[in-house]
Structure 1
Amino acid sequence: MTTDRLAELDWDLIPYTSHSAHMHMAVDEVLLQRVIAGIRRPTVRFWEWIEPALVIGSHQSVANEVDVVAAQELGFTVTRRMSGGGTMLCEPGRTITYSLYVPATIVRGLSFRQSYAALDAWAVRSLIALGVPAGYREINDIISPRGKIGGAAQARRSGFVLHHTTIAHSMAPDLLPRLIRIGRERLSERGVRSADKAVSPLSEFTSIDCAAVARHMGRSFEAEFHAHDSEVSREELEAARELVKTKYATSGWINRLP
């Protein structure tokens, strides 16, 4: 039912594009604002990571979630997104992320839980077409029989939805426990904790590299929903750079739940 609604929208598709971690957060906010304002069509954007990052949810405590010393030693940027949910570990050439900016009418009649699966269903189909045994697990996980492939988060503003999903293409198994404090002592009484789930990256099922998988997913979306090729405009980039300076790169935002 939601797939039919997605097909009724006139889509823009922004292909695999590179930004810093803080800039990706700012671009998400700017594009959501532009879609809300009617300046931009409903849009899907594929991200390219150019630096390793730990992306914490809007309602998480840095102290509870991140081993800050390990992050500094390993060169990971800590950034905070505008949506909720748990901490994501992202690396260049190893992580696929995409965002949807859509009117909430396409998930009307669905529960909050159901909306996650509905907005990721096209991605599950795209991965299955590559031979990945992908499925969905409530609330917000793309899974294989071996564990979690990816997870989604949402923010809702003014009758519109930002839905973004991060998928592990490959991952060094020792990184998660070194960088994310799952299962360790709580250092702050504030904030939502990340869930402890086994990760099952795409590289367990396909030899296709990360960028090629992302391009395949973009082509799948374009073919299914007849999306128009687009890009982040100069005006949108300027607005996002300003948001990086005034919000996303500031300690006040990153450490707002210390």
Structure 2
Amino acid sequence: MQYVIMPSRDIRRNLATEQYLLNQRIFDEPLVLFYIQTPCVIVGRNQNVRAEVDLSYALRHEITITRRLSGGGAVYDDLGNLSFSFVVNAEHETFGDFKLFTQPIIDALHEMGATGAEISGRNDLLIDGKKFSGNAMYTKNKKMYSHGTLMLDVDLDEVNRVLTVSEKKLASKGTKSVRSRVTNLKPYLKKKFQEISTEAFRDRLLLHLFNAKTMEEIKSQEYQLTQKDEQAIDQLVADIYGNDAWIFGEEPKYTIKREEKFKGGLIEANISVEKGRISAVTIYGDYFSKKETKEIENLLIGCQYEQKAIKQVLAEITVEDYFNNVSKAEFIQLLVD
């Protein structure tokens, strides 16, 4: 295994680096990436930014907004958060198997004193029933990354201010606010780690992953980006992660909004209907998907807005490829009763 410590504190550049390495690297061994960023919100691939983020607050407080390639929900990061990513050859990995990548992190946290840390649900890490890490996956061309956050010492007040989470999603978690669901790791660590910086926390995790005692021992395992790599990453930032067209997308005017929380995640469908047929549809949510949701959206355009017609349109489609752990019947019921 090799590792990358990203020097940038800009989430847009860090996500671009992750994507670049996924696309360009020929894998003879996995990569683990660690990155830290100034205040930002990262929305999932399939989410409606305006429904997840208080944009006026973010603008006033210079909180960067971007969108990632993977599914899942919106997260707030600041310098008290450590992000990690395992970039691997996907031929022998199972999409959605988060435990494979998060268990080594859990083991390291136990070693540092957070013995109550555990994997919960499909993609969360919890301690005392509260979330300190959310994880997501993305796969392309037989390669995959699984990335997540680790809230070491994040400003929890900011989490609650900038994220405007769906009431239905909160209700499904049995709680009333974002703040009540999340926690920082630092209070659970051993006394000697109570003043640890995010950078030192990162290094402790690296040493655990590589079974080493000093950073010098693993220096030869550090992956170095070239100037050519950096230029390509700059272009990805300009084209994608810093581009409003990617971040906000095209949101059609809609007359019907349908939303439901499934085992596989929250799905929101915004549907325009003209003369009984679907004229526009945009689907958001924190679900995970192997294929692009846009493919299903395009199939539904022009379809009669009733169950029988939608069933016919989707007859040959494997819905779980687009909405992991959501059945075709559940998806159709979401669109129209």
Instruction: Specify if TM > 0.5.
Output: yes
SS class of match (1:18): coil
SS in 2 for 1:149: strand
Q: 2: distance between equivalents of 1:257 and 1:223?
A: 47
Partner Cα distance (1:245, 1:40) in 2: 30
Q: Is the contact made by 2:130 and 2:181 (CA closer than 8 Å) also made in structure 1?
A: yes
Q: 1:184 deviation in Å?
A: 5.6
TM-score norm. by structure 1 comes to: 0.82
Residue 224 of structure 2, aligned match among 228, 231, 246: 231
Q: Secondary structure at the match of 2:98?
A: helix
Shift of 1:63: 0.6
Q: Residue 245 of structure 2 corresponds to which residue in structure 1?
A: 252
In structure 1, the partner of 2:32 is: 44
5+ residue gaps, structure 2, are: 170-176, 213-217, 252-337
Deviations 1:111-149 (A, max 9, x none): x44x11111111010111100121100211111124111
The one-letter code matched in structure 1 to 2:8 is S
Count of aligned residue pairs for this structure pair: 231
Unaligned runs of 5+ in 1: 1-10, 187-194
Name the structure 1 match of 2:63: 76
Deviation at 1:159, TM superposition (A): 1.5
Contact 1:16 1:47 in 2 (8 A): yes
Q: Deviations over 1:136-195 (max 9, x none)?
A: 002111111241111111101112111111111113332122100114699xxxxxxxx9
| Length-normalised TM-score, structure 2 | 0.64
Match of 2:88 in 1: 102
| Separation in 2, partners of 1:128, 1:233 | 36
The 1:42/1:185 distance shift into structure 2, 3 A limit, reads closer
State the shift of 1:41 in Å: 4.3
Partner of 2:40: 53
Corresponding residue for 1:176?
Answer: 159
Query: Identity of aligned pairs, percent?
Result: 21
Greater relative CO (CA pairs within 8 A, separation 6+): 1
Partner of 1:65: 52
SS in 1 for 2:156: coil
| Structure-2 residue corresponding to 1:203 | 186
> How far is the alpha carbon of 1:106 from its aligned partner?
4.0
The question of whether the paired residues in 2 share the 8 Å contact of 1:61 and 1:257 is answered with no
How many Å separate the matches in 2 of 1:174 and 1:217? 26
Superposed CA RMSD: 2.3
Residue 232 of structure 1 deviates from its aligned partner by: 2.7
Decide which structure has the larger Cα Rg and report it: 2
Which residue number in structure 2 is paired with residue 131 of structure 1? 113
Match of 2:2 in 1: 12
The match for 2:316 is none
Match runs of 1:150-165 below 5 Å: 150-165=133-148
